[in-house]
Structure 1
Amino acid sequence: MLSDNASGVASVVFLLDVDNTLLDNDRFAADLGEKLEQAFGATERDRYWAIYAQLRDELGYADYLGALQRFRAGLDNDPALLQMSAWLLEYPFADHLYPHALDTVAHLCTLGPTAILSDGDVVFQPRKIQHAGLWSALDGNVLIYLHKQQMLVAMQQRYPAAHYVMVDDKPQILADMKQRLGHRLTTVFVRQGHYAAAAPTELQSAADLTIACIGDLRGRKLEDFLPSTPTIDLPAN
């Protein structure tokens, strides 16, 4: 349990998304597509992404390993197939953290208890967070759910606080969390990655704070995240 006082209840807990918030997951996806094309050709690469999209629609989160399991159909005798799992699990995620991501994590930890709150499976997503160096940077304070916006009761049981700050690149998730937690949540929208770029303008503008990149949070004071703070676009450093 994270807390910053003797009662065990924190004043403010910071919650951080991972993909396209701390980590350039679009870069990973591009590298994966390139690897698939090199190993199996463009047609098979496209088949993998079709399987991935179908699984995402079914599950509601990215399942790269699950897509690979289905992708194996017809490729069981291809020696490249067995190398793909190692490529996925050993991918150098630490090389693709956004600039100043770890500095930002360290800074937020000085303002209040800080944890990762992510969607994903129970194998690849933890592995990604560990290989990126985020697990150790946050002393293992990591929550991974199928749909994090539906697990806020569980999150609060794990990390009780008077107020929460959620940093995410998906404004729809921020809006869903705001609907559930109301004034007890400050939403921070990070304009990074393809989900942020594709989000409707009205959703983007609904966030309490909007930043261009995760590094913009460095040096921000605690009062910048409190409920009395008006909606504002924070300038890049």
Structure 2
Amino acid sequence: MSSRDAIVFLFDVDNTLIDNDRFSADLADRLERDFGAEGRERYRAIDKEIRGQVGYADYLGALQRLRGKDSDPRFMEMSFFLLDYPFDERRFPGVPQTIDHLRTLGRPVIMSDGDTVFQPRKIRRAGLWDAFRGDVLIYVHKEEMLDHMQATYPADHYVMVDDKPRILVAMKKLLGDKVTTVFVKQGHYAVESEFNGVSPDITVASVAELATLGREAFPSRTGSAPTLR
């Protein structure tokens, strides 16, 4: 990819950079409007089943399975709803400014889980593809792809910014002092505290708070985890 960076900042997308919970609520409302409560619940059950099978949300795949052999044009309208959803309006405040600030310290990179169609579309629609200058990685299970990530973006140190405790714990266990973990307390995972004794290095209420931090906040270190307020 490029020469080695001093720091690579790895960003999750859903509920870290964009309010995906809001999107999920809008999707549920639209499903109920077009297909009734029964259709909404059928979609939800299909989505849950697919997530269990592949490990990520496949919104278009769930819609396709919901449609089956039905030729109702409302399914085409629902596909437009998904593909044209205004994710730029769901981007959390301060994200562009935070990315610009962190670029003065290292290289910001998106590292997300997801499918190969909807997730890239979501990232581009949110204006994040351009903000990250195309530095985007989308995996099935990102915690299982750290060798590929490091080969693609070699760095002296990594910073993982995520709203999911499970991911942060896995990253710390696998990379140790080579990674600083940042827990963003946004979205439905914010109430979780299942870090299994592996506390995040930094806890913030929003990504925008990272714009206040300097290089000294991200050394290779162990010890207590500061909480920014």
Indicate yes or no: 2:107 matched with 1:113: yes
Secondary structure in structure 2 of the residue aligned to 1:194? coil
Tell me which amino acid in the other structure corresponds to 1:131: R
CA offsets 1:71-113 (integer angstroms, 9 cap, x no match): 1026x13221111111100000000101111111111111101
- CA distance in structure 1 between the partners assigned to 2:17 and 2:197 by the alignment: 18
Tell me which amino acid in the other structure corresponds to 2:203: T
2:146 aligns with 152
Residue 70 of structure 1 and its aligned partner are, at CA, apart by 0.6
2:79 aligns with 85
Task: Spell out the pairing of 1:56-95 with structure 2 (5 A cutoff).
Answer: 56-73=51-68, 76-95=70-89
Secondary structure in structure 2 of the residue aligned to 1:45? helix
CA offsets 1:151-205 (integer angstroms, 9 cap, x no match): 00000000001110000000111110111111100000000000222x2354597
1:42 aligns with 37
Task: Spell out the pairing of 1:167-178 with structure 2 (5 A cutoff).
Answer: 167-178=161-172
The normalised TM-score by structure 1 is 0.92
Indicate yes or no: 2:223 matched with 1:234: no
The answer to whether the 8 A contact 1:172-1:203 is kept is no
The answer to whether the 8 A contact 2:177-2:221 is kept is no
Secondary structure in structure 2 of the residue aligned to 1:187? strand
The answer to whether the 8 A contact 1:167-1:187 is kept is yes
The answer to whether the 8 A contact 2:102-2:108 is kept is yes
The partner residue of 1:213 within 185, 200, 206 is 206
Alignment RMSD: 1.4
CA offsets 1:101-151 (integer angstroms, 9 cap, x no match): 111111111110111000000000000000000000111000000000000
Tell me which amino acid in the other structure corresponds to 2:22: R
Tell me which amino acid in the other structure corresponds to 1:174: L
The normalised TM-score by structure 2 is 0.96
1:101 aligns with 95
1:5 aligns with none
Secondary structure in structure 1 of the residue aligned to 2:73? coil
The answer to whether the 8 A contact 1:12-1:161 is kept is yes
- CA distance in structure 1 between the partners assigned to 2:212 and 2:131 by the alignment: 18
- CA distance in structure 1 between the partners assigned to 2:227 and 2:212 by the alignment: 15
Tell me which amino acid in the other structure corresponds to 2:102: L
Secondary structure in structure 1 of the residue aligned to 2:190? helix
2:13 aligns with 18
The answer to whether the 8 A contact 2:165-2:194 is kept is no
**Residue 141 to residue 44, structure 1, CA distance change in 2 (3 Å):** same
- CA distance in structure 2 between the partners assigned to 1:203 and 1:100 by the alignment: 31
Secondary structure in structure 1 of the residue aligned to 2:189? helix
Tell me which amino acid in the other structure corresponds to 1:140: G
The partner residue of 2:135 within 137, 141, 166 is 141
- CA distance in structure 1 between the partners assigned to 2:80 and 2:67 by the alignment: 15
